[in-house]
Amino acid sequence: MSLARVVVTAVLVEGRSKASVARDYGVARSWVYELLKRFEQEGEAGFEPRSRRPHTNPRSTPLEVEDDILRWRKYLIDAGLDAGAETIAVHLRNQHGTAPAVSTIWKVLSRRGFITPQPRKRPKSSYIRFEADQPNETWQTDFTHVKLRNGRDVEVLNFLDDHSRFLLACTAHYVTTGLNVVDVFRSTCNDYGLPQSVLSDNGAVFTARFKNGRNAFETELASLKIIQKNSRPYHPQTCGKVERFHQTLKRWLAKQPKVTSLPALQDQLDQFRHTYNTQRPHRAVNRRTPEQAYNARPKAHPGNNITNDYFRLRNDIVDKHGKLTLRHAGTLHHIGIGRRYAGTPIRMLIHETDIRIITTDGELIKELSLDTENNYQKQ
């Protein structure tokens, strides 16, 4: 039996005075009066322990501030944008000139049920981050897949500045080809200058290094003395910034009306690019916008110590029609040798567009400078 029940029983059943009961059981007389009042109003429930938490807290976040936090949370989620506590703090500071602490915003969101605990999520402190020191020092590039309203799969090609996360280009294509990559890259360079290096995965539109060749994009970078970097196969973390950016892009597109044509999708991508670059504060650049971070430092440029020479040795056999094939800058060229050499094993010594074709014994069969405008090089 609880002390509260004993005290009430002593007063009501035994008929003892409240003062004597308080003295005998070592409790305050006011508490005896409080217990009797509770029992009269609530019955047995009046004996349950009550919280000692104060009814008011002068240091608590005002209700109107909490409501403002929730309005921003809902607005950003509906817009398909980042809606974390740090982002909300930036928007509140821009709107009112001041904002609660990030930890306070997080507690408000958690208390109101807007945050789902993720106890198994890998902590950010465990990641090793790499970031270019200057804008245009490294551009990351990749493409991702999205679907139109009619279910057709299309591809979105992106170029992202590694230092500032500035979205340099965001273009839609039914199928991304090597020529698309070169055209978008050239247009981007015209707008923002040449980068010092470009980082991509090992997609065929970016590199032909596993085919012992060089495609159009690689040729373009070499001619401009731009360093080309490629990630390790099956290791997307190397291109983590553009890979993570694809999540941001798709989250935003998921909140937009579905479109049925490529031009309509491009209009949405242009709108997103403006919002992403100029309005959305980015955690990786201290909650500045990517445009602010991109314009805050001098731009890097291609180095002068990068060699432009391209050497290649290829073993082949002359086909039955007396021809050889060679891929240059992504385009397949046919080279006429002569039917008398049909079936002959040969070696091709390639330096840029200068080619020497010799037998395995070292006899020179043909020497030419590749005409890149023609697919067939006459005998």
Both tokens of 123, joined, read 């902590």
Distances (CA, A) of 115 to 39, 64, 106, 322: 41, 20, 8, 70
In-domain check, residue 158: yes
Please answer whether residues 204 and 328 qualify as being in contact, where contact means their C-beta atoms are separated by less than 8 angstroms. Answer: no
**What is the per-residue pLDDT across 200-252, written as a single tens digit (0 to 9) for each?**
999 999 998 887 778 899 999 999 999 999 988 877 888 889 999 999 999 99
Report which residue type is found at 50: R
Work out the average pLDDT over 46-62. 78
Least confident window among 150-154, 229-233, 275-279: 229-233
**Do 167 and 229 sit in the same domain of this protein?**
yes
Structure pTM?
A: 0.63
Domain shared by 258 and 340, yes or no: no
- Summarize pLDDT for 167-177 with one digit per residue, the tens: 999 999 999 99
Q: Is residue 124 part of a domain?
A: no
Domain boundary among 233, 266, 295: 295
What is the predicted pLDDT for the residue at 191?
A: 95
123 occurs within a structural domain: no
Q: Is residue 52 part of a domain?
A: no
pLDDT for 306 equals 45
Q: Do both 151 and 179 map to the same domain?
A: yes
Contact call for residues 367 and 348 (beta carbons, < 8 A): no
DSSP codes joined into one string, 84-102: -HHHHHHHHHHHHS----H
**Distance (Å, rounded) from C-alpha 316 to C-alpha 139?**
36
Can you say whether residue 28 is alpha, beta or left, with left for phi > 0 and alpha for psi between -120 and 50 degrees?
Answer: beta
Regarding whether 285 and 154 lie in a shared domain, the answer is: yes
Residue 160: its H or E element: strand 153-161
pLDDT-derived band at 153 (thresholds 50, 70, 90) equals very high
Q: Is residue 122 part of a domain?
A: no
Please name every residue paired with 312 in a beta bridge, in sequence order, or none if there are none.
350
Identify the pLDDT of residue 330. 66
* Residue 2's pLDDT band (cuts 50, 70, 90): confident
**pLDDT for position 126:** 58
Question: Is the same domain home to 144 and 267?
Answer: yes
pLDDT band at 129; cut points 50, 70, 90: low
Residue 348 within a domain: yes
pLDDT band for 305, please (50, 70, 90 cuts).
Answer: very low
CATH number of the domain encompassing residue 183: 3.30.420.10
Please give the residue that has the higher pLDDT: either 159 or 78: 159
Q: Please report the pLDDT score of residue 221 as a whole number.
A: 93
User: Which of the listed residues 271, 295, 319 is the one where a domain comes to its end?
Assistant: 295
- Same domain for 230 and 191: yes
- In our burial notation (b when 16+ CB lie closer than 10 A, e otherwise), range 36-65 reads bebbeeeeeebbeeeeeeeeeeeeebeeeb
Contacts of 173-182 with CB under 8 Å at 24 or more apart are 173/143, 173/262, 174/262, 176/143, 176/205, 177/205, 178/204, 178/205, 178/215, 178/216, 178/217, 178/330, 179/216, 179/330, 180/205, 181/141, 181/157, 181/205, 181/206, 181/216, 181/217, 182/216, 182/217, 182/220
User: Is 328 found in the same domain as 263?
Assistant: no
Residue 304 has pLDDT above 60, yes or no: no
Query: CA–CA separation, 45 vs 9, rounded Å?
Result: 15
Q: Quote the CA–CA distance of 324 and 359 in Å, as a whole number.
A: 13
Instruction: State the DSSP code for 123.
Output: P
Residue 369 has pLDDT above 90, yes or no: no
Rounded CA separation 253/144 (Å): 13
Distance CA 302, CA 226 (A): 5
Distance of CA 300 to the CA centre of its chain: 23
Are 166 and 272 in a shared domain?
Answer: yes
Residues 260 and 335 in one domain: no
Query: Residue 272 pLDDT more than 90?
Result: yes
What are the structure tokens assigned to 323, written together? 């021809």
pLDDT digits (tens, 9 = 90+) for 175-194: 999 999 999 999 999 999 99
> In this predicted structure, what is the pLDDT of residue 258?
94
The answer to whether 334 and 325 are in contact (CB under 8 A) is yes
Of 36-45, 65-74, 300-309, 335-344, the one with minimum mean pLDDT is 300-309
293 band by pLDDT with thresholds 50, 70 and 90: very high
Check the CA dihedral 18-19-22-27 and report its sign. Answer: positive
Q: Higher model confidence: residue 112 or residue 69?
A: 69
- Number of neighbouring beta carbons within 10 Å of residue 294: 22
User: How far is Cα 295 from Cα 48, in angstroms, rounded to an integer?
Assistant: 64
6 vs 141, residue with greater confidence: 141
Average pLDDT over residues 141-170: 96
> Do 281 and 157 share a domain, yes or no?
yes
| Predicted local confidence at residue 268, as pLDDT | 97
Q: Which long-range CB contacts under 8 A does 167-174 form with residues at least 24 apart?
A: 167/245, 167/273, 167/276, 167/277, 167/290, 168/139, 168/192, 170/249, 170/269, 170/270, 170/272, 170/273, 171/266, 171/269, 172/262, 172/265, 172/266, 172/269, 173/143, 173/262, 174/262
The pLDDT > 90 percentage for the chain reads 43
Work out the average pLDDT over 358-376.
83
SS3 271: helix
Least confident span in 99-113, 176-190, 345-359: 345-359
Do the domain assignments include residue 26? yes
Instruction: Give φ, ψ of 343 to 5 degrees.
Output: 80, 5
Q: Give the domain range for residue 12.
A: 3-47
Into how many domains does the chain fold?
4
Domain shared by 77 and 25, yes or no? no
The answer to whether residue 57 sits within a structural domain is no
For 239, the token pair is 């291109």
Are both 351 and 240 inside the same structural domain?
no
The residues, any chain, with a CB within 8 Å of residue 297's CB and separated by 6 or more, are 134, 135, 163
- Least confident range of 140-144, 152-156, 185-189, 300-304: 300-304
